[in-house]
A and B are shown apart, each in its own frame.
Chain A
Amino acid sequence: MSTAQHVQHSPLRIFLKTIAARAYPRVMAANRQKTWVFFDMAFPMVGALAMVLVYQGLHAPRQYLGFVVMGGAMLAFWQNVLWSMAAQFSWDRGNGTLELYVISPTTFEGVLLGMALGSMFTVTLRAGAILLLGSLLFGITYTAAGTLPAIGVFLLTLAALYCLGMLLASLFLFYGREAWHLSNAMQEPINFLSGLYFPVNALGAYVGGAASLVPMTLGLDAMRQLLLPGTPVFIPAGTEALLVAVQIPVFAVLAGISLRYMEIRARRDGKLVTRWE
């Protein structure tokens, strides 16, 4: 009798293949269900533009309109992190897919990055549309020289945001409904605190400092400083960018620890198991 040697692929290979494979259904969904164009694009756009109109009505300073437009664009990414990444595990548990992730040799990190990457195209398109349309409609002007550094800050912010998303996703491994409530609860205050619609320094040092835990706060503020002339300075853009850069490994490491820990807790309490009843 021959004892077949089982092939065990390297963790890196599995990681990369997982990212591509998990991104795949997201990409296909965007191709096959065209309705997303409407739901994903039209609704958030209306929201952001409505906010601009309110500001205009209040005769807010001109650069505030720019804040709103940029905030609306960034919001698209934040919502994606909250609902399409963190909360996805809750859906996956419901139909048994989570079980299959767990028993396979892949990692949650690969699965989550795949999800993120898979929806990157549609989210970027949505954010871009808000930015473009908002800017044209309200005649917002940007500092051209700030573009490149702002793109750099944007990429840093995005990385930090998705690492935070992984941390949140770990909660969904263990908690069901409770994690939904948390995500829900985090949505509005964070939209507010992170200064999506106004400069952070309006919050004062303490609240602003606390809000800075969400990478979007600092990143957005830095981008505004770089792109919109006359932005009030909370912390200089360079420092903010540095802080966001530091958040990336911090959130990544925390997410890794939390994913491991929550997995073991969930195995102990039977939370990974889907029951068919």
Chain B
Amino acid sequence: MARTHHPSSDTSRLAVETRRLTRVYKTRRELTTALQDVDLEVGEGELFGVLGPNGAGKTTLIKILVTLLLPTSGQAFVDGLDVVTDYKRLRSRIGMVSGGEQAGYGILKVREQLWMFSQFYGMDSTAARKRIDELLERLGLSDAANKQITGLSSGMRQKMNLVRGLMTDPRVLFLDEPTVALDVSAARDVRSEVRRWMREDPTRTVILTTHYMQEADELCDRVAIVNRGRIVAEGTPRALKQSVDDDVIVDLQLDPGTPVLDRLRAIEGVGAASVREEDGVDRFSLMLADDGVLPRVMTTVEGAGRHVSGLVRRQPTLEDAFVKLVGRSMTEEEA
């Protein structure tokens, strides 16, 4: 198997490796293929992002890697250990935190709950308490340390959960949408703490799922874009953005009127188009093969009787790369 990203690495240097990993869910009514033939290699010390729309299979991937779910076929290794056959040894080396999770016992105080979980890893009590206080302090939660969990805000709770993931010093930490529903400053705290924690020991690895483009762009060393159970692209955020470098990206603002998205998409030379509504105006993002396509776009817009209130050409973002690869924006529902 070719290891293009880490030419010098052997298996033990890879934090995560999957080979044709596939997972099918069976429910009474139907079969859902949540992951299909996923090949992934994440090097030790990487902060690796898994980016994808709802239902893409991100959580399924994480749950297989943390030994909660068996693959239907294919293989997966974490820290060099097979998640199917060597799961017992693996468990002391991993951690998982999911955004919005409610695990634990509400009757306990923050510090007590964290201590409880540390014991399931055999940590020395005194060392665990010290570590917990240190991490709580870093995340600005010191004041809440003696608060009962039922009284926490959801943001505080999410930060507490992150402390739980960090305190056992896992070799590979899995974060499933760790900043979902957090306000801007709390999300920033979480991201910077993850980064800092990784710097403490450069062999630590983090796999993070998100559907925030900007988070993936700013935070991750490398990103895989997942859609409908398949990896459709993989690379550094910069490389992914470069894949749309040849395109002309314009943001077009239109006052309300008849829908034009489909008409825009039908124009020759329009690679991808997406729209979101903001403050009563429609903000279109268009990917054009070259400048020559723009007049045709304007003709179409005017033909539909829509009034242009703004037009700018801008630098490509990860979102643009995503739209180009997946054919729709992250928030747009599948047709």
Q: Do A and B come from one complex?
A: yes
- Residues of chain A at the chain B interface (Cβ within 8 Å): 1-4, 6-10, 13-14, 17-18, 20-22, 24-25, 28-29, 32-33, 95-97, 99-106, 110-111, 264, 267-270, 272-274, 276
| Complex: chain A residue closest to B88, CB-CB | A105
| Complex partner residue of B92 from A6, A29, A111, A276, CB under 8 angstroms | A6
Q: Which residues of A contact B144 (CB under 8 A)?
A: none
12 contacts between A and B (CB under 8 A): A2-B201, A6-B171, A21-B116, A21-B120, A24-B116, A25-B113, A25-B116, A96-B101, A100-B120, A104-B92, A270-B25, A273-B68
Inter-chain contact B119/A21, CB cutoff 8 Å: yes
Known: A272-B68, A273-B63. A100 touches B122 (CB 8 A): no
The 6 closest A-B pairs by CB, nearest first: A9-B122, A21-B119, A96-B103, A105-B92, A14-B122, A25-B105
Contact indicator B92/A1 (Cβ below 8 Å): no
Please encode chain B, from 69 to 92, with 1 for each CB lying within 8 Å of some chain A CB and 0 for all others.
Answer: 110000000000000000011011
Interface size, chain B (Cβ < 8 Å): 45
B235 within 8 A of A: no
Chain B proximity of A23: nearest CB distance (Å) = 10
> A25-B116, A28-B108 in contact; A4/B203 too (CB < 8 A)?
yes
- Contact flag A1-B171 (CB < 8 Å), given A6-B92, A100-B103, A103-B91: no
Measured between alpha carbons, how far is A272 from B105 in the docked complex, in Å? 18
Chain B residues within 8 Å of A33, by CB: 107
Q: Is B112 an interface residue (CB 8 A)?
A: yes
Q: Report whether B70 and A97 are in contact in the complex, using a CB–CB cutoff of 8 Å.
A: no
Give chain B residues whose Cβ lies under 8 Å from the Cβ of A100.
96, 103, 117, 120
- Give the CA-CA distance A230 to B105 in the complex, in Å: 48
What is the distance, in angstroms, from B92's C-beta to the closest C-beta of chain A? Answer: 4
Q: Which of B66, B70, B118 contacts A103 (CB 8 A)?
A: B66
Query: B202's closest neighbor in chain A, by CB?
Result: A1
- Given A24-B116, A28-B108, A267-B68: A95 in contact with B103 (beta carbons within 8 A): yes
Is B203 within 8 A of A103, CB to CB?
no
